[in-house]
Structure 1
Amino acid sequence: MEPTPVITIGLNVNHPHFDYSMEELQQLVVANHMTSVATLTQKLDHPDAGTYFGKGKLTELTDLVNGTGATTIVANDELSPSQIRNIETATSATVIDRTGLILEIFANRARTKEAKLQVQLAKLRYQLPRLRTSASQRLDQQAAGGGLANRGAGETQLELNRRTIEHQITHVRHELKDLQRAYTTQSKRRKENQVKTVALVGYTNAGKSTIMNQLVSRFGTNEEKQVFVKNMLFATLDTSVRNLELPGNKQVLASDTVGFVSDLPHQLVEAFKATLAEAADADLLIQVVDYSDPNQELMMETTTNTLKAIGVPDLPMITVFNKADRTGSRFPERTGANLIMSAQDPASIDELVAMISEQLFADYVQKTYLIPFTAGDLVADLNQNFDVQATAYEASGTKLTVALPATVAIRYQQYEI
C-alpha cells in the first residue's frame, strides 16, 4: 500500500529548535506510513486562537491542498478542537495534530496487552475534550424538529459520549492497576533473588534495540530472542526484558524500553509511567545517545525531562554515545561513566559490559570458604549462582574462592577462612 500523501505545517513562535522539530515531524509522518508532499510554516508571536495560522497563510494552505491533491494536513503542535475544526472547514482536508499523530503510531505498534491499554487510555484522554456533535447527529436532530429541542438533544448526545469515555477511562485504569500489581510481585521476587537489572533508555532511534540484540547474541541465556530493530521512530513500543549472563557468572535482567521524542504528548507521559516501570525499578540506566546526530544535546535533555516527568528516580547511569562509526571518532573510548562506541563493534560491547559489571556488582566481595564434603549442595549453589574464581580439594572439604554480594556472603559466614 502506498504511503498517504500529507501536507506538514508548523508555527515558529520563537522556538529555539523549530527546524529540528519540523525534521522530526517528517520522521513521525514516515513512521505512520505517510509521505509529506509539501511543507508550510509561519513565524508568529503566538498561534491564532481560531485557525492556528494567520488568515493569509491559511489561504495559502488551502491553495496548497488544492494544488497537491493531499487530503490530510499534519500539524507540528497540539491544536485545540476549534483550530482543527476551522482549518478543516477552510481547506476541506482532514487535520491531525502532533499528539494525534503520535497516538496513531502508538496504536498501530502496540503489541502487548499492557501497551495496548496504555495507548487506549492516552487516546481516550485526548478525545474527551475534543468531543463534538457529528454531522449525522445534527441531521438526526433536524429531522426531529427545530429550535431548543434540537440543541438539547445535541447536548444530551455529547454528554452521553462524554460519560461513555469517562467510564472507559475508569475501566482501563483498573485493568492497568491489575497488571501493575502483577509486575510489583514479579519485581519483588527479583529483588529477593538478588537479580540485578539494567534498563536501556533514550531518544527513539538512537540504537537501544541494536545494543540490546548485541548483548543478547553474546550473553543471552536459553536462546533469548532478539528484539525488533528498524530505522524508524518508535519502531518498538513494548518493553523487552532479556536474561543475560555476564562474565563471572553474573546474572542480569536487561530491558529495552520505548524511545522518547521531543514534545511528548502529555496524554502519553502518564501512560509511559507504566511502560517504563522496568526503568524506574532498575539498578542501572543506560542512556543511549545518537553520537552522529547534531541535535544530541537536545535528545539528552528530552530524555532527562521525560524520565523526571514519569517519576523515574535519580538512578546510577551510564551514557552511551552510539553510532560513533558514522562520525570518524575513535571508539570505544571511555571517560568516567561515558562511553563512545558503535553497537556493531564487539570491542565496544565488551567495554559496555565491563562498565555494567563495575556498576552493578560494586557491592561484590571476594571470600574464601572451606565447605565440608557433607554440604555439597552449598558448593553446587555457589558454582551455579556466583563467580567461583578458584577451587581446591582438601582433607576436610572443598575450598572455594568466590566473588558474591556482601549481603549473600553472610549466609556462608560459618565456612569462611
Structure 2
Amino acid sequence: MAEFDDTEFSQGELELEDRASLRRVAGLSTELDDVTEVEYRKLRLERVVLVGVWTEGTAAQSEASLEELARLAETAGSQVLDGLVQRRSRPDSATYIGSGKVRELADVVNATGADTVICDGELSPGQLRQLEAKVKVKVIDRTALILDIFAQHARSREGKAQVELAQLQYLIPRLRGWGESLSRQAGGRAGGANGGVGLRGPGETKLETDRRRINKRVAKLRREIASMDIIRETKRGRRVANEVPSVAIVGYTNAGKSSLLNAITGAGVLVEDALFATLDPTTRRSVTPDGNAYTLTDTVGFVRHLPHQLVDAFRSTLDEAADADLLLHVVDGSAPAPEEQVRAVRDVLGDIGRRRSEPLPPELIVINKADTADELTLARLRHLLPDAIVVSARQGTGVQALIEELAARLPRPEVIVDVLVPYDRGELVARAHADGEVLAEEHTPEGTRLRARVHPDLAAALQAYVTDGSAI
C-alpha cells in the first residue's frame, strides 16, 4: 500500500512552489501577446543588455541603479548579458543615450546575441522607436519591466485588475501601427459631395481601433476596482468601528516585510528572495504582550522611480498604509545603499500623503537582515536612524523587542472607567479585556469591580454601572 506524505505546507510555501514551477526557459519564445493585437507589446525577455544614463549623483549610485535593474530583469526571467552607462547632463531627446553610445550599444547587442535592450528609465514613444530602429532589437524601459514583473506575480482578482490597468495606461501613448494600410473602414460617404474615389480619407485605422478598445477596457477596470474598493473600505470600517489599532508594514522591495509579518504573527505568507514577491496585501490579527489586539498589514514593496501608473492603480492598496495608526518601515540592512532605499520609500509615502491632503501616520523604522548586514553599515544606520530597532526576521533576533515597542506606540483607549458590573453582564467585562486595558479587577458578591481604560463606545455601555464617586 502506498504511503502518503502528510507534510503540511503553508500558503506561502505552496505559492512559492507554484511560482518556481513556471520559470521562463532560455532559448524558448516567451512573447507576451497583448489583447490589443498591437505588435509593440510582444516582449522578449530572455537575453538582455542593460543601458543607463548617469545624470546626477556619484558613479557608485549609477552603478547601483544598474545593478538593481539587473535584479529586476532576472526577476522577470531574463539572462543579463552586459550593461552600459552613459554620462550625460540629461537623456538624449531622440535616442536616450546619444548617437555615439547607440553605435556602441548596437555592437554589444550583435556581439552578445541579445534579443532585448532594457533602459534604466521611462522612455518616450519617440525614443523607443528611434532606439529600436538603430539597434535592430526590441527595446523596453524600466517601467515596462516592472509592469511585467507585477503581471507575473499578481495572484488575487484585485491585484490582476490593478496591474492590467497600469499596463494599459502605459500602453496607450505607445501604440504603434503601420499607417493607412491598417484602415478598417472608408471615410466619408460613397458618392457624397465631399468624397469620391481617391478623395476619401482612410477612416478609422487599426491604431485608432485599438486605442478605443483599450480606453473601453480601462473604464471597465476602473469600475471593477472601485467596486473592490467598497469591499476593502467595508472591512477597514469594521476594524475602525471595533477600535482595533492597525499597523502597516512598508518598505523597499525585498527588504523582508513578509518575513517580519511571519515572525510577528506566524502568518505563513509567501517569502521569496526576489523583487516584488508580494503584491496582494495580507492582513493578520495579533495581540500585544499586555493583551491588546491589533492588525498588521503587509503591503506592496516600493522601488526607485516606481511607475506612476502603478501608484495610481494600486491606490486602494497604498491607502491601507495611509489609514494605519502606525507605519512599520522595514529597511534592508544588508543592501548596498539602505539610506537611498529609505529616501525612495519616504518619497512615495509623501506623494500619497499629498494626494490625500492628510498627514501620514507615525513611523517606526526597523532595520532588518541584521544577520547578513555589514557591521559598519549597521553602525551608520544606527547613527542616521537613532530610534530604529535592529532585527533579523529570519533568525528571530530583536523581534520580541520590536513587539514590545509596537505595543508602546499603538494608540491606547482614552477613557478610564471605574465600574461595578453585575455577573449577568459578563460580556461587558470580556469586551473590556479584549478591546481595552484592564487596570484593576476584583470579584465581589455584587459583581465584578473593574477599573479599565476603554474606548468611548464601551464607556457608554458601562455608564449605568459607574460606582459612586467616579465619572466616565
TM-score, length basis structure 2: 0.78
- Is 1:373 equivalent to 2:423 in the alignment? yes
SS at match of 1:121: helix
Change (3 A) 1:151 1:19: farther
What is the distance in 2 between the residues matched to 1:297 and 1:151? 61
Residue in structure 1 matched with residue 351 of structure 2 by the alignment: 309
Matched, 1:2 2:25: yes
Q: Partner of 2:307 in structure 1?
A: 265
Given candidates 292, 297, 304, the residue that maps to 1:255 is: 297
Tell me, in whole angstroms, the C-alpha distance in 2 between the residues paired with 1:104 and 1:114. 16
Q: Matches of 1:188 and 1:336 in 2, distance apart?
A: 35
CA distance 1:374–1:38, change in 2 (3 Å): closer
Match of 1:203 in 2: 252
Which AA in structure 2 matches 1:344?
R
Is 1:82 matched with 2:126? Answer: yes
Structure 2: distance between partners of 1:298 and 1:205: 14
Aligned partners of 2:182 and 2:206 also within 8 Å:
no
For residue 318 of structure 1, what is the amino acid of its counterpart?
L
Q: 1:378 to 1:274 in 2, by over 3 A?
A: closer
2:364 is aligned to 318
Aligned to 1:168: 217
Q: Which runs of 5+ in 1 are unaligned?
A: 218-224
The answer (yes or no) to whether the contact 2:323–2:361 under 8 Å persists in 1 is: no
Q: Which moved more, 1:120-129 or 1:344-353?
A: 344-353
Please tell me whether residue 408 in structure 1 is matched to residue 408 in structure 2. no
Shift of 1:416: 4.1
Amino acid at match of 2:294: V
In the alignment, structure 2 segments of 5+ residues that lack a partner are 1-23, 27-45, 187-196, 468-472
Higher mean displacement: 19-28 or 343-352: 343-352
Take 2:145 and 2:284, find their aligned partners in 1: how far apart are those partners? 30
Three-state SS of the structure 2 residue aligned to 1:153 is: coil
Amino acid at match of 2:393: A
SS of corresponding position for 2:286: strand
Cα distance in 2 for partners of 1:27, 1:125 equals: 25
The Cα of 1:212 is off from its aligned counterpart by: 0.3
Is 1:287 the counterpart of 2:337? The answer is no
2: CA distance between counterparts of 1:378 and 1:408? Answer: 8
Is contact 2:125–2:174 with CA below 8 Å preserved after alignment?
yes
Deviation at 1:14, TM superposition (A): 2.8
Q: Which has the higher strand share?
A: 1
In the alignment, the residues of structure 1 paired with residue 365 and residue 431 of structure 2 have an alpha-carbon distance, to the nearest angstrom, of 35
Contact 2:299–2:318 (Cα < 8 Å) also in 1 = yes
> Are residues 353 and 336 of structure 1, via their aligned partners in 2, closer, same or farther at CA, if it must alter by over 3 Å?
farther
Q: Single out whichever of 207-216 and 294-303 deviates more from structure 2.
A: 294-303
More helix by share: 1
Cα distance in 2 for partners of 1:40, 1:170 equals 40
1:338 aligns with 2:361: no
CA deviation map 1:24-49 (0-9, x unaligned): 10111111011211112211223222
**2:374 is aligned with 1:327:** yes
Deviates more, 1:190-199 or 1:266-275: 266-275
Show CA shifts across 1:256-280 (max 9, x none). Answer: 0000000111211212322212112
- Residue 161 and residue 347 in structure 1: after superposition, are their counterparts in 2 closer, same or farther (change >3 A)? closer
Aligned to 1:310, what secondary structure does the other structure show? helix
Question: In the alignment, which residue of structure 2 is the partner of 1:123?
Answer: 167
Q: Given that residues 325 and 411 in structure 2 are in contact (C-alpha distance below 8 angstroms), is that contact kept between their aligned partners in structure 1?
A: no
- Measured in 1, the distance between the counterparts of 2:99 and 2:431 equals 75
Relative to structure 1, the CA distance from residue 57 to residue 123 in structure 2 (aligned partners, 3 Å threshold; closer, same or farther) is same
How far 1:340 sits from its partner (Å)?
Answer: 2.1
Q: Tell me if the contact between 2:158 and 2:228 (Cα under 8 Å) persists in the aligned partners.
A: yes
Say whether 1:359 aligns with 2:403. Answer: no
2:113 alignment counterpart? 69
Query: Partner of 1:276: helix, strand, or coil?
Result: helix
Please state how far the C-alpha of 1:92 moved relative to its aligned partner.
1.9
Q: CA deviation at 1:388?
A: 4.2
In the TM superposition, 1:7-156 aligns within 5 A as 7-16=49-58, 17-134=61-178, 152-153=201-202, 156=205
Return the letter of the residue paired with 1:348: G
RMSD: 2.8
TM-score, normalized by length of structure 1? 0.88
Contact 1:319–1:337 (8 Å) recurs in 2: yes
Alignment equivalent of 1:277, drawn from 283, 302, 319: 319
1:248 and 1:386 in contact (8 A); partners too: no
* Matches of 2:419 and 2:229, distance apart in 1: 41
